[in-house]
Amino acid sequence: MAVHYVGNAADIPEGSFRTVDVSGRSIGVYNIKGEYYAIHNYCPHQGAKLCKGPVCGTMLASDVYEYIYGKDREIVRCPWHGWEFDIKTGKSLFDGKVRTRSYPVRIEEGRIGIVIGRNEEEPVTADKK
């Protein structure tokens, strides 16, 4: 596990994002209501630069003839074919198994750190090999 510092938190105000390059990976860092999230700038459908898509919300599950808008500014929509992903988790809205990679973010002394790699203290399980 390595923490890569990519800039100052103050440079990404609430409701905005920035793409950064970390070890050859393009990563989008988003500030959602004061919390920072990082996702791979790559759509698993056909490889578009996901973070070029608009940030929006979505319609939540609801009863028939009921429309409830939610997750405002927490969703990014792929610019090529419109697949939508939850910025907080990297999961697509239509199938949680389809996802772009998300990375833990640490704020240390005002700097944004993106954690990449397996935590060596975590036990190795079959899905982490």
Residues that bind ligand FES in the complex, under the rule CB under 6 A: 43, 45-46, 48, 78, 80-81, 83
Between 26 and 104, whose beta carbon lies closer to ligand FES? 26
Smallest gap, in angstroms, from Cβ of residue 94 to ligand FES?
A: 11
Between 81 and 106, whose beta carbon lies closer to ligand FES? 81
Smallest gap, in angstroms, from Cβ of residue 49 to ligand FES?
A: 9
* DSSP symbols for 35-99: EEEEEES--TTT---GGGSPEEEEEEP--TT--EEEEEEEEEE-TTT--EEETTT-BBSS-TTSB
